[in-house]
Amino acid sequence: MSKPQTIAFIGAGNMASAIIGGMIENGFKAENIWVSAPDDSHLQSLRKRFGVSVTTDNRHCAQQADMIVLAVKPQVMRQVCQDIAPVVQNTRPLMVSIAAGLECATLDNWLGGGLPVVRVMPNTPSLVGKGSAGLYATDDVEQAQRDAVSAIFESIGVAVWVEQEDLLHAVTALSGSGPAYFFLMLEALEDAAVANGLEAATARKLAIQTMAGAAEMAGRGPDEPAQLKRNVMSPGGTTEQAIRTFEDGGLRELVTKASTAAYSRSGEMARELAKDDE
């Protein structure tokens, strides 16, 4: 299975739309994609936008596929898995979960046991082909199945396998939640620029391009971020004042605290969901 024949998405929200949109933009065929969710109006808008097949019946959706992407909130995952378990125990597809903090063992148990499971922590920039995903596979997953999942997530950004499931908590705190951190930074920079007299539209345009340009430079290397930062800081100049203000205000500690809060919440969710399984 280097490329699955048919992929079923259960859940049609932000992440499913982002992944499907990215896949289609990158050459995956809409006719090979099925999507299910309770609200038919959400499904119809996905069908119109991407040309995928849709159904409100999760079992019907699951029946179609040799790879099933579970893209519902962790809190409804148990009910969804138990609903499709009779189907997947028969068809034995590769199960791919993108739910935050839900461990493979818990998921497999809800699905009736013995299925190959891949856990992915993607992020919303997948919609524009700039996603970052961390992936973990259980021992039952064959190399060809890993390759098939890599192909999807590499078509919409970068995909990195981790060899210990626990590391997905760290991935969640970095790239899963990360886009929101940068959107917050954009909002703050834009507000500050407006306070300094720029028009909002101008401030947004410059802030976005500054963020994108800085990311591009950091990605290309070879200079470390610290050196790139020093290159902007002319002695006695403006940047020095701003960076000193960030450092004195405890920005690094705050970033560590915020990331640790996301990391801890991911672990806590895993424990809550596993407990729910007892």
Ligand X SMILES: O=C(O)[C@@H]1CCC=N1
- Residues of this chain that bind ligand NDP (CB under 6 A): 10-16, 36-39, 42, 58, 71-74, 76, 79-80, 98-100, 121-124, 176
Which of ligand NDP, ligand X, none is residue 12 near (CB under 5 to 8 Å by kind)? ligand NDP
Q: Cβ of residue 264: shortest distance to ligand X, in angstroms?
A: 12
Q: How many residues are recorded in the chain?
A: 278
Q: Alpha-carbon distance 156 to 24, whole Å?
A: 9
Contact stretch for ligand X (CB under 6 A) within 27-35, 135-143, 169-177, 253-261: 169-177
17 lines the binding site for ligand X (CB under 6 A): no
Q: Cβ of residue 167: shortest distance to ligand X, in angstroms?
A: 15
Q: Cβ of residue 177: shortest distance to ligand X, in angstroms?
A: 5
Structure tokens at 209: 């391009």
Nearest-CB residue to ligand NDP?
Answer: 13
100 lines the binding site for ligand X (CB under 6 A): yes
Per-position b or e across 211-241, b if 16+ CB within 10 A of its CB: eeeeeeeeeeeeeeeeeeeeeeeeeeeeeee
User: Who's near 271: CB < 8 A, 6+ residues apart?
Assistant: none
* Closer to ligand NDP by Cβ: residue 112 or 179: 179
Q: Alpha-carbon distance 38 to 160, whole Å?
A: 32
Q: Alpha-carbon distance 151 to 148, whole Å?
A: 5
User: 273: which DSSP letter?
Assistant: H
Contact 109, 136 (CB under 8 A): no
**SS3 assignment, position 142:** coil
* Closer to ligand X by Cβ: residue 106 or 172: 172
**Binding-site string for ligand X from residue 202 to residue 241, where x marks contact by CB under 6 A and - marks none:** ----------------------------------------
* Closer to ligand X by Cβ: residue 145 or 172: 172
Structure tokens at 251: 């920005």
Of 133, 172, 203, 270, which one interacts with ligand X (CB under 6 A)?
172
Interacting residues toward ligand X by CB under 6 A: 100, 172, 176-177
